[in-house]
Amino acid sequence: MSAGPEVSLGPGAAVLAVDVGGTDTKSALVDGSGVVREVLRRPTPRDAGRTGERVVDEAAAVAAELAARHPDVTPRALGLVVPGIVDDERGVGVWSENLGWRDAPFAEAASARLGLPVSLGHDVAAAGWAEYRLGAAAGYRDALVVTLGTGIAAAVLLDGRPYRGGGLAGEIGHARVADGPDCVCGGRGCLEAVASAAAIARRYTDASGIQVPGARDVLAAMEDGDAVARAVWDEALDALALGLSHVVALLAPQAIVLGGGLSHAGDTLLAPLAERLGALLTFHRRPALVPARLGGDAGVLGAALRARDVAPSAGGGA
């Protein structure tokens, strides 16, 4: 349990927001003034083929817990964002490799349980919308918000609007950038298999024989002069630059916002990545590379914004 982020959504409907992650689920209650009253973090439920149902159970339990502690706030809608392939229009979680659901009717099931309108969305797309409305992408009409974490995905914002491509846009983590290794999606040499935080840790462990829990440990080893760690990090940066150069050639974004756990590397990531990306571009628009501003709260804030779009008193939409 924690207090909410200092960012305010501004006046509007009071809403619930749930951001389902691969490890943790973050939930929040936002009041009518736009203040996040409280944030709850729980382990994401996993139950073989019933994980989708357990996610809805968790949303209902969180709603009851927050209602008991904040009786003065009556939410008018729920924003629920999940990983994987998501069909926003049907409210269906089409597929999640990591959490093990397929064609899960989240919006319908959650609405029936809570008695509220529900907006279902993709977690990275929601985080990107929050960065556009409230964070580092504000002021840009065309932007890419890239999450570098356990996986790699992007929110695409064109002319001030999210572009979802039927739920399939932004999956840059599964674009091929190298000859290997194999990727969980069934492809080979995907960006996510080379440059995600999980891949960096895994590839260092394989190359060095030293077990490390995360990319942060690889960076620490690199700073201590570990040549294997340096090689793994350089290969990740090369892959990221190549993947982003393709996006720049196609979409010409004004800015690329980098979030997720790997972005915490700061200038150790941003400076060499900008140099590598610049070397790959010629006549192309050169986007600003900027760190995300909302951190781990971006997804739940994006879920809250989605909830306001479907709340009875809400207007406009993302």
In the chain, what are the domain boundaries? 15-128+296-310, 139-292
Question: Would you say 158 and 206 are in contact if contact means Cβ atoms under 8 Å apart?
Answer: no
φ/ψ of residue 39, rounded to 5:
-125, 135
**First vs last Cα of the chain: how many Å apart?**
28
* pLDDT one digit per residue (tens) for the chain, 318 residues: 555 677 899 999 999 999 998 889 999 999 999 999 999 999 998 887 788 899 999 999 999 999 999 999 999 999 999 998 899 999 999 988 778 899 999 999 999 999 999 999 999 999 999 999 999 999 999 999 999 988 899 999 999 999 999 888 999 999 999 999 999 889 999 999 999 999 999 999 999 999 999 999 999 999 999 999 999 999 999 999 999 999 999 999 999 999 999 999 999 999 999 999 999 999 999 999 999 999 989 999 999 999 999 999 644 334
Question: Would you say 55 and 107 are in contact if contact means Cβ atoms under 8 Å apart?
Answer: no
> Of 3.40.50.1370, 3.40.50.12160, 3.30.420.40, 3.50.50.60, which CATH number belongs to 15-128+296-310?
3.30.420.40
**Cα–Cα dist 185/190, whole Å:** 9
Do 15-128+296-310 and 139-292 show the same overall fold? Answer: yes
Q: For 273, how many CA atoms within 13 A lie in the half-sphere containing its CB?
A: 26
Alpha carbon separation from 114 to 65, 133, 301 (Å, rounded):
13, 27, 20
Domain 139-292: CATH class, spelled out: alpha beta
